[in-house]
Amino acid sequence: MKNNLEYHGYLMAGYHDHPAGTMYNCVDKNPDTLHGGHANKDGYLFYFVEGRCGSLKCPPYVEGRELLCAMTEFYLIIVLLLQTTKGETQTGSCKDMLQGYLTGQLSSALGAYQVDALRREFKSFTDVIEKSMKKFKEEVNARIQNEGNRNVVYTRWSKKTCASLANFVYSGHFGGSHYTDKGAAVNPLCLPRDPEWGNYRDGNDGFKAYVYGAEYEPNTFTSHFTSLHNHDVPCAVCLVQNKSVVKIISRKTCYKGWNLKYEGFLMAGYRNHAAGSTYKCVDKNPDTLHGGKADKDGYLFYFVEGRCGSLKCPPYVEGRELVCAVGTKK
């Protein structure tokens, strides 16, 4: 499996107390700027992201230290695809032009025998070229079909391992904004267990974005999830080859033609908290991080219930928790 570094840099997001929601972004360590754009005119603002200990494990993370990031490729193919119709039209046109040139320009200077010989030589040459181009296009099309969507990377929230037949990339800690942050970055992160550091200044200094760990908040839900209250949430990054991945909401099984990877419950942040969140499919048998039972908050996971109205009931039911499934298809 190829795993080549595209670039590395610093994790950045909006300021945690600004009213606008943001996203975590990996900014190159040597960023460019736009010409003439040095004036302070605001807009979407980028701040460095620091770790916040608690539900985020320290160590290996450090309170107030800026986080790095890296963008990698698992498989990258760059091809020149020639459109068949256009290519054949251009090839035919070129051949006709050259044959016309041979006939019109050379016939006056050469005898008929020499012109016929040149035509035969030219036809042999163009036949070889056309055959080679046809073979090339067939190989490119076959490679695109076999390799174009070869690898799909997905994150399995709440688990330390990947489902069967998926390649394990790494496991770590769920990372996200605090549930009280108005300027929360809504996209979650799967933070590795073995972080690396670049330039940093420890401590809670200046205007920064923050990243916390996460906890389960099952509250009144009656199941084995009750024992997970305030436990910290792990994650695993997985890769499947030659397959597509789909998340199906309100189903425990996959539709025909899809293979179930795992099933679970749909979870998200509490609707009345200041921070935005995203829906996640949490495995029905979730894992926890060792030593992470203390109530230290951070990004919080709540079950998602249906609300009738614009949501049709039936088939949905008012106040009933929603399930989910993740499947793959070759």
pLDDT in tens, 271-291: 888 888 888 888 888 888 877
Determine the pLDDT at residue 3: 59
**Angle, to 10 degrees, between the axis of helix 112-147 and the axis of helix 84-106?**
170
Q: Given the structure tokens 């960023």, which residue do they identify?
A: 31
The residue length of the chain stands at 330
Residue 84 has pLDDT above 50, yes or no: no
List Cβ<8 Å contacts ≥24 apart for 196-203.
Answer: 196/68, 197/62, 197/65, 197/66, 197/68, 198/10, 198/29, 198/66, 198/68, 199/66, 200/65, 200/66, 201/64, 201/65, 201/66, 202/62, 202/63, 202/64, 202/65, 203/63, 203/64
C-alpha–C-alpha distance, residues 158 and 148, integer Å = 30
Burial of 262 (0-12, 13-18, 19+ CB in 10 A): buried
Residue 92 has pLDDT above 70, yes or no: no
Q: Stretch 244-263: mean pLDDT, rounded?
A: 85
* Exposed/middle/buried for residue 329 (C-beta within 10 Å: 0-12, 13-18, 19+): middle
Residue 114 has pLDDT above 60, yes or no: yes
Confirm whether pTM is higher than 0.75: no
Mean pLDDT along residues 141-145: 64
**Does 4-76+149-329 carry CATH code 3.30.450?**
no
Confidence of residue 240 (pLDDT cuts 50, 70, 90): confident
Mean predicted confidence (pLDDT) in 191-216 = 81
Identify the pLDDT of residue 87: 41
The percent of residues above 70 in pLDDT, for the chain, comes to: 77
CB neighbour list of residue 72: distance below 8 Å, 6 or more residues apart: 3, 4, 5, 6
More confident residue, 125 or 322: 322
User: Is the predicted pLDDT of residue 107 greater than 70, yes or no?
Assistant: no
Helices of type H across the chain: 84-106, 112-147
Helix, strand, or coil (residue 237): strand
Q: Is 209 helix (H, G, I), strand (E, B) or coil?
A: strand
pLDDT recorded at residue 203 = 81
Position 79 scores a pLDDT of: 29
Average pLDDT over residues 201-206: 76
Are 64 and 127 in contact, with CB atoms under 8 Å apart? no
pLDDT at 249 over 80: yes
- Report the half-sphere exposure of 258 (CA within 13 A, side-chain side): 17
- Amino acid of residue 259: N
pLDDT at 37 (0 to 100):
62
Cis amide prior to 234 (ω within 30 degrees): no
Query: What would the pLDDT profile of 315-329 be if each residue is shown by its tens digit?
Result: 888 888 888 888 887
Predicted local confidence at residue 298, as pLDDT: 84
pLDDT confidence band for 85 (50 / 70 / 90):
very low
Looking at per-residue confidence, does 214 or 74 come out higher? 214
* pLDDT of residue 141 exceeding 80: no
- More confident call, 221 vs 169: 169
Domain ranges of the chain: 4-76+149-329, 84-147
- Taking only the tens place, the pLDDT of each residue in 23-50 is 888 888 877 776 666 677 666 777 888 9
Give the pLDDT band of residue 77 (cuts 50, 70, 90).
Answer: very low
Which pLDDT does position 106 carry in this prediction? Answer: 53
